[in-house]
């Protein structure tokens, strides 16, 4: 791959899917995939910790990303850069939010929503888990807006099921 070429979000997700790397799209990008009318420049991915080395080697060697830490790092969060694009990769097995709720990757992955089109698929946490993930850091305006949207989306889904 050309080093000057920026790897876009869809290209990265496609590469992860082809290698069967277990990952969830989290953060505001996931809220957008649930239909929220918001924008973000962030790309946050929660990757299964067992797929960490495979993921970082893909980014480093195959896709020429610049990594904040080398592929053999023990760090649980690695930032990857491709041109102007920034991707935050989380490799936690489980994580606790500000309300002391523990979110486990396996549980979130097992209950995730698969969003598909003809050429691509995206795996995002369930709305319930995404709301819990939005509470990992101290509250901010964007997270509060996202949670409000997700709560409304959750109500609409319940109403459709009836």
pLDDT tens-digit profile of 10-25?
999 999 999 999 999 9
Confidence of residue 118 (pLDDT cuts 50, 70, 90): confident
- What does the pLDDT read at residue 122? 95
CATH topology of domain 9-156: Beta Polymerase; domain 2 (3.30.460)
Counted residue by residue, the chain has a size of 162
pTM: 0.92
In 10-93, the DSSP E strands lie at 23-26, 43-47, 66-67, 77-82, 85-90
| Beta-strand relationship, 85-90 and 43-47 | parallel
- What does the pLDDT read at residue 160? 79
- What does the pLDDT read at residue 34? 94
Confidence of residue 116 (pLDDT cuts 50, 70, 90): very high
23: left (phi over 0), alpha (psi -120 to 50) or beta: beta
- What does the pLDDT read at residue 4? 63
Q: Assess whether pLDDT exceeds 80 at residue 2.
A: no
3-state class (DSSP) for residue 126: coil
Domain ranges of the chain: 9-156
pLDDT, mean of residues 122-134: 97
3-state class (DSSP) for residue 57: helix
Q: Distance between CA atoms of 21 and 15, rounded to whole angstroms? A: 9
Q: Read off the pLDDT of residues 33-71 as tens digits, 9 standing for 90 and up.
A: 999 999 998 899 999 999 999 999 999 999 999 999 999
Cα–Cα–Cα angle for 25, 63, 50, nearest 5°?
50
Q: Which two tokens stand for residue 151?
A: 């709560």
pLDDT, mean of residues 75-81: 97
Asked whether the beta carbons of 129 and 24 are under 8 A apart, the reply is no
Q: Assess whether pLDDT exceeds 80 at residue 29.
A: yes
- What does the pLDDT read at residue 135? 96
């Amino acid at each position: 791959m050309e080093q000057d070429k920026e790897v876009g979000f869809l290209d990265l997700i496609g590469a992860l899917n082809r290698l069967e790397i277990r990952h969830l799209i989290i953060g505001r990008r996931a809220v957008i995939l649930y239909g929220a009318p918001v924008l973000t420049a962030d790309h946050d991915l929660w990757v299964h910790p067992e797929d960490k080395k495979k993921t970082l080697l893909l980014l480093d060697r195959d896709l020429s990303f610049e990594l904040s830490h080398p592929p053999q790092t023990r760090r649980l969060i690695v930032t990857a850069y491709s041109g102007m694009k920034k991707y935050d990769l989380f490799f936690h097995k489980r994580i606790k939010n500000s309300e002391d709720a523990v979110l486990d990757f396996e549980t979130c992955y097992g209950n995730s929503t698969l969003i598909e089109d003809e050429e691509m698929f995206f795996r995002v946490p369930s709305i319930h888990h995404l709301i819990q993930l939005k509470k990992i850091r101290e509250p901010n305006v964007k997270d509060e807006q996202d949670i409000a949207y997700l709560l409304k989306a959750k109500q609409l889904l319940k109403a459709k099921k009836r």
